[in-house]
Amino acid sequence: MGGVAHVKEEKKELAKDVHRLACLGVCLMDISDSRVIVQNGSESSLVAKKVEVFSQGGGGVLRYQGRLCVPNNGMKRDIVDFVAKFPNCQQVRIEHQKPGGMTQEINIPTWKWEVINMDFIMGLPRTRRQHDSIWVIVDRVTKSAFFLSVKTTYSMEDYAKLYINEIVKLHGFPLSIISYRGPQLTSYFFKSFQKGVGTKVNLSTTFHP
């Protein structure tokens, strides 16, 4: 690529960007009727027929499949400022997270304390007895709940004893437990303990609460 002295002032930045693209193996093959044909020349597997067609707008902006290809940071700033002035532009959001799947229905239990939910509230200020977390256990039918003060240093045996003394002695062993994937509830001991008493443990998964 030669100098840019012959290029109009408003197109010089675009010409420089085209040169930088060429250095990366991307070349402009043809320009006609406001269409810019671009090919990745660094890929030897590509042939002349395998090209991507961009439509050229004003100010050196390229469009491909409805998306803007912004050639320089200055124009990015202009676009951000433009979008900030119009609510309709701000309402159009691109989803960057993995889409949630179909929700998984949970059958309604036929009797209280047959199915319970478990979760932990962590990182609380320590009490005089050094408790810094709360173990939340909720019945899915009556919505009655137990809030048990625990320590993050508790062993699985400590949780098992507390569970028997506070829950099992009052309501018996549940048929099923729905819990989040915390280390307290995913340990081999906890799952083996529940399996031994006939309780099924269902761990919630990401995007499928």
pLDDT mean over 75-100: 61
Enter the DSSP assignment of 90.
H
Give tens-digit pLDDT for 151-160. 989 988 898 8
Query: Is the pTM higher than 0.75?
Result: no
The token pair that represents 145 in the structure block: 């709940």
Residues 6+ away with beta carbon under 8 Å from 56 = 31, 34, 35, 36, 62, 63
pLDDT of residue 72: 56
User: 173: left (phi > 0), else alpha (psi -120 to 50), else beta?
Assistant: beta
Residue 82, pLDDT score: 65
What the chain holds in terms of domains, given with CATH numbers, is 9-91 (no CATH), 115-203 (3.30.420.10)
69 versus 163: the higher-pLDDT residue is 163
> Residue 114's pLDDT is what?
92
In the predicted structure, residue 111 carries a pLDDT above the cut 70: yes
For residues 195 and 173, the answer to whether their CB atoms sit within 8 Å is no
Of residues 101 and 106, the one with the higher pLDDT is 106
